Amino acid sequence: MRLLIRLRARADAAYQNDYHHKLRGRLWKGLRGTKHDELHDAERPIGFSFSNVFPWGDIEEDDERSVLVASTDRDLLASVADGLVTDREFNVGEMPFRVEEVTTVAPDVGEPGTRGTLETGTGVLVRIPPWKADEYGIDDEGDEATFWQPEHSLRPFKTQLENNLDQKHDLFCDDHLPGPSDREGDLFDEYDLLKTFAVPVEVTQGVEMTYVLSKWRFGYRVRDDHHRRHLNLALDAGIGERNALGLGFLNVQKGSKRPPGASSKATTDEAATDGGR
């Protein structure tokens, strides 16, 4: 489940690529004083992710922009929505907006047999722990995690992505249900790397780190109801690390979903797609 937040610019502004911490702070404003407030400093995935302000690009007064917020917890989304309706000023650093409308959308990858494409609206963070470096043939003698890059091959990327989604499945799905690594077959059928890039991210107040991120299109065919659940979990919780900072946010690519037996492209449930770097 996700919220679609429609915004209107209150002034001209340059687009801020280091928006992550400021946007998280604005969204979290509605969670202060609620039961979800304690999640702010959680050292585990919290089932919460969000897009950038889109479409990407410098802003002129009265421009229309949007933000998507996804979560595995509908109550958390309701608290975010309540906060946005109560206080419609929506400033992301030096980008000033006003909330025009907040609606819910419920993207779904489709029933078994459906084919489609998921695309990363924001960069994906995958880090390879130092104790895995030798296994993947990575020359790294340090004790810090290594940012995934194309020269490391797809194997560590796919493995770390699946392990991360396993953790989220353990946290947010019923215990008796099998997780991604409990089932045969890859999470995605196709991995189309669009680009890698480095971006400064303020991970907490006054602390900035440079992350190496990647953007992707993932082709999929829903094998069964379990696989459908795993893919929809990725839509709600994000993929890779640091989803609560807006990394690893996924969309169903518009026009990509083809129901079982369909020979032409069909319109998806997604309300909007991100622009971005």
Residues labelled catalytic: 41
Q: How far apart are alpha carbons 242 and 145 in whole angstroms?
A: 14
Strand ranges for 121-189 from DSSP E = 127-128, 146-147
Query: 26 by DSSP, 3-state: which?
Result: helix
Q: How far apart are alpha carbons 150 and 148 in whole angstroms?
A: 7
For residue 107, cis peptide bond before it (omega within 30 degrees of 0): no
Which residues, including other chains, have CB under 8 Å from residue 197's CB and lie 6 or more apart? 123, 212, 213, 214, 215, 277
Q: How far is CA 247 from CA 75, 122, 267, 269, in A?
A: 22, 6, 26, 22
Q: Tokens for 140, please give them.
A: 């790294």
Q: Tokens for 271, please give them.
A: 């309300």
- Please report, to the nearest 10 degrees, the dihedral formed by the alpha carbons of residues 210, 28, 160, 115 taken in order: -120
Q: How far apart are alpha carbons 154 and 111 in whole angstroms?
A: 27
